[in-house]
Structure 1
Amino acid sequence: MKYVNERVRRQDRLMDEERAIELLREGEYGVLSMVSENMGYGIPVNYVWDGQNSVYIHCAPEGRKLTAIEQNPMVSLCVIGKVNLLPRNFTTEYESAIFFGKANVNLSEEERMKALHLLIDKLSADFKDIGDKYAHKSFHRVEIIRVDFSEFSGKRKKVL
């Protein structure tokens, strides 16, 4: 996954690569964007980063998201960090990173279960035993999407 900032219009607001990765690692959710029915389609999703170039997202085994990915697997995931509205200044401090890649479905059962355990570790760390039982019980009604990222960029605004 390559850090690419050439297309960011406001070069003075570039976020450093380390902070962009930190947002990906620590973010609670992101907005997955894709094309559905010839229009943009973005939805908030829980995800977990694998520590390398991919994230896993869980969802129902059918629906608009999977149909869109089947038609065009190229997606983006936007993760938003700290936001501070400054009404008196008519502006907002913010930080966000956007990751571009290809979504993959029809993963092996082993990879899907691994992804569920990564999600449990991230989102329900205090309930790993119960989470494992739940993952096995509901496995048949959960789909896992793996997004393999090729590039990303980050942007932030700080007001002095």
Structure 2
Amino acid sequence: MMFKQMRRIKQQLSEKECIDILQRQKVGTLALAENGDYPYALPLNYVYYNGKIYFHCAITGHKIDIIKKQNKASFCIIDEDTVVPEKYTTFYRSVIVFGKAEIVEDDAEKMAALKELSYKYISKDDKAHLKEINGAWNRTCVFSLSIDYLSGKEAIELTQQK
């Protein structure tokens, strides 16, 4: 699949701006679809680490079933969403990632991803994290989203403020 160039190129965010948003925000929407089926989109916590996006979940479930059959996915993060009623517009900034989801089988990569998730959402206290991670290890799945294409866009009003 070729990814289409953004129509309003002046509003396109740089790769660095997109990465900054991925690192800063805490929730995004992952969209998956099996061939010919309805898309399945769900909000998830994530961490951007080593050039990939990592998620954790239970070892079974709908998203895991889909990933095993069809691993193409998209992931959307909203960074800014301010409705400006008097102007009939929204000041927005968002990032969309297209890539391939893959269940992490390597224990070292799985541990690193779980630690990074813990650092992002809880604290840098390795001792507490390791106890929790090790206690849930066998019932926790980690999957990654490799980035094939990344784009970001913002409202023209935000672009003009730069």
Amino acid at match of 1:150: D
One of 136, 148, 151 as aligned partner of 1:150 = 148
One of 71, 74, 77 as aligned partner of 1:76 = 74
Task: Give yes or no for contact 2:104–2:110 (8 Å, CA) kept in 1.
Answer: no
Shift of 1:126: 5.2
Structure 2's unaligned 5+ residue stretches are none
Amino acid at match of 2:23: R
Amino acid at match of 1:124: I
**In the TM superposition, what are the counterparts of 1:103-122 in structure 2 within 5 Å?**
103-122=101-120
Partner Cα separation in structure 1 for residue 112 and residue 104 of structure 2: 14
Q: TM-score if structure 1 supplies the norm length?
A: 0.89
Amino acid at match of 2:86: R
Task: Give yes or no for contact 2:74–2:97 (8 Å, CA) kept in 1.
Answer: yes
Q: Does 1:47 align with 2:46?
A: yes
Indicate the SS of the match to 2:130: helix
Closer, same or farther: CA 108–51 of 1 in aligned 2, 3 Å: closer
Partner Cα separation in structure 1 for residue 45 and residue 30 of structure 2: 10
Following TM superposition, where does structure 1 have runs of at least 4 consecutive aligned residues deviating by more than 2 angstroms? 4-7, 9-12, 126-129
RMSD: 1.9
Indicate the SS of the match to 2:77: strand
Shift of 1:125: 1.4
- Aligned residue in 1 for 2:11: 13
Partner Cα separation in structure 2 for residue 158 and residue 138 of structure 1: 45
Partner Cα separation in structure 1 for residue 108 and residue 124 of structure 2: 23
Partner Cα separation in structure 2 for residue 155 and residue 5 of structure 1: 15
Q: Does 1:97 align with 2:95?
A: yes
Partner Cα separation in structure 2 for residue 116 and residue 72 of structure 1: 24
Shift of 1:150: 1.3
Shift of 1:5: 7.9
Task: Give yes or no for contact 1:5–1:153 (8 Å, CA) kept in 2.
Answer: no
Aligned-residue identity in percent? 28
Closer, same or farther: CA 31–126 of 1 in aligned 2, 3 Å: same
Partner Cα separation in structure 2 for residue 50 and residue 56 of structure 1: 7
Q: TM-score if structure 2 supplies the norm length?
A: 0.88
- Aligned residue in 2 for 1:125: 123
- Aligned residue in 2 for 1:24: 22
Structure 1's unaligned 5+ residue stretches are none
- Write out per-residue CA displacement over residues 21-40 of structure 1, whole angstroms, 9 at most, x where no aligned residue: 10011110111111047111
- Write out per-residue CA displacement over residues 85-135 of structure 1, whole angstroms, 9 at most, x where no aligned residue: 101111100100111111111512222111111111111115442222101
